[in-house]
Amino acid sequence: MNPLALLLAAGIPAIFLLIIYTQDLYASRTFRLVLICFAWGALGGVGLSYLLNTYVTYPTLRKLGWDLLLLYVLFAPIAEELTKSLALLYVSRRPEFTYFVDGAIYGFASGIGFSIVENFIYLSQNPRMGITLAVSRAFSTCLMHGVAAGLVGIAIGRVRFQQKAGRGLGLAGGWIAAMILHGVFNAITQADLPDTLLAIIPIGIGFAGVGLIAYVIALGLREQKQWLADTLDRKVGVSGAEVRAAQSYSSLEEMLEPIAKQFPQKMEQVLALVLRQAQLGIKKKVQEKLEDPKQKDQLTQEIAQMQEEMEQLRKAIGPYVMVFVRSVFPEGALNIWGRLELVAAQSGPADVQKWLSMFPVFQSGTPQIEASQEKELPAPATAPKRSVFGTIQAQAEKQTNTRS
């Protein structure tokens, strides 16, 4: 076989898997489980479906005298969608599996693993077609397999929070959707159509399917952001400002650019802390939704471990940098963190003033702290002697009186 054809047959689908893999903003999926699903699709899925199609379905159709086209548009989709997604039933029982976002990624991985091995089989049977066959299948059939299994993964991720009576129906719906997609795709490739359409339509189905999976993942991430507001609070050691940082994780590096410039060694720790907090919030929501006591206990242990890791990260980051993180994502209308830095900058120790002066966010005229708030603060020479929090409270009362 042509080495380049083999590389394309495996490399292009793998790139699409990487694209889908990185769509999970909060990285709740794990590489280990993705690898398990990929390996199952490549080995278990291909092996079982080959045995069913070759030694059960094909002889039965021949014996009954039925059209062999049924093998491609009906029986093969049923066998392949059932077998290649069996690994999803296993990973859905693991504590690392959170929501249908994970299900979409694990399912897509299983389908891509299945399709790559199938590509190798077709290339071995048609060596003269080589590169043309590898490229055409990589952008069409491979994506169809990934999307179909991804639909099953989405269904599994949705039904795991439902009552037992509705789980079977929801799971069946996912499998039926995958089988219909697979059957329609195979019917088109077997249809008597012009060569141009036979090339364009399957590729269009593949890309449309990938777009659908990406869109579903985006919907899941939006829902998970709401989970963070529901589950993260002071009881688990997370401030309101840190919750908003977790919800803004996709743009966090840009918003915390001053930290990257002044304390580059701290930036990775800040990102790790915010990501861990987001994962904690998602885990807590999953724990609330699950009914299985064993899975709840597993999550309890994992949540406790995550809280310990978060505390270690906070200590490593240090209070100064944490103050800045919270100032970018203030607690609310009172903006207590922003006021705290303003007061500290005027009346605090010299080392605090020096540190705060490094960041433009704490200087006048910045969008994070309005000029009107700065004017309300008394000048250092005439400011009365009071505690930092007393000054903050006075500023809050003054604003309230002004509004009324």
Q: In Å, how far are 21, 24, 263, 322 from 268, measured between CA atoms?
A: 21, 19, 10, 13
- Identify the residue with better confidence: 313 or 375: 313
CA angle 299, 290, 314 (to 5 degrees): 35
pLDDT at residue number 239: 66
Residue 394, token pair as written in the block:
């006075």
CA distance 123 to 20: 26
Total residues belonging to the chain: 404
CA distance 302 to 283: 9
User: In 290-383, which ranges are continuous DSSP H helix?
Assistant: 293-317, 319-328, 336-347, 350-356, 371-376
Lookup result for tokens 């290649």:
84
pLDDT at 379 over 80: no
CA distance 361 to 368: 6
Q: In Å, how far are 37, 109, 110, 401 from 10, measured between CA atoms?
A: 16, 13, 14, 68
CB 281 within 8 A of CB 228: yes
Question: What is the 3-state secondary structure of 21-59?
Answer: HCCCCCCCCCHHHHHHHHHHHHHHHHHHHHHHHHHHHHH
CA distance 226 to 247: 8
- Mind listing the pLDDT tens digit for each residue in 186-214? 999 999 889 899 889 999 999 999 999 99
Lowest-pLDDT choice from 107-111, 137-141, 207-211, 327-331: 327-331
pLDDT at residue number 235: 61
- pTM for the whole thing? 0.71
CA distance 366 to 115: 53
pLDDT at 358 over 50: no
In terms of C-beta density within 10 A (0-12 exposed, 13-18 middle, 19 or more buried), how is residue 50 classed? middle
**Secondary structure (3-state) at 190:** helix
**Secondary structure (3-state) at 127:** coil
pLDDT at residue number 36: 94
- Mind listing the pLDDT tens digit for each residue in 9-18? 999 999 999 9
CA distance 329 to 270: 13
CA distance 329 to 229: 13
Residue 75, token pair as written in the block:
């029986």
- Mind listing the pLDDT tens digit for each residue in 210-221? 999 999 988 888
pLDDT at 241 over 80: no
- Mind listing the pLDDT tens digit for each residue in 64-113? 999 989 999 999 999 999 999 999 999 988 877 888 888 999 999 999 99
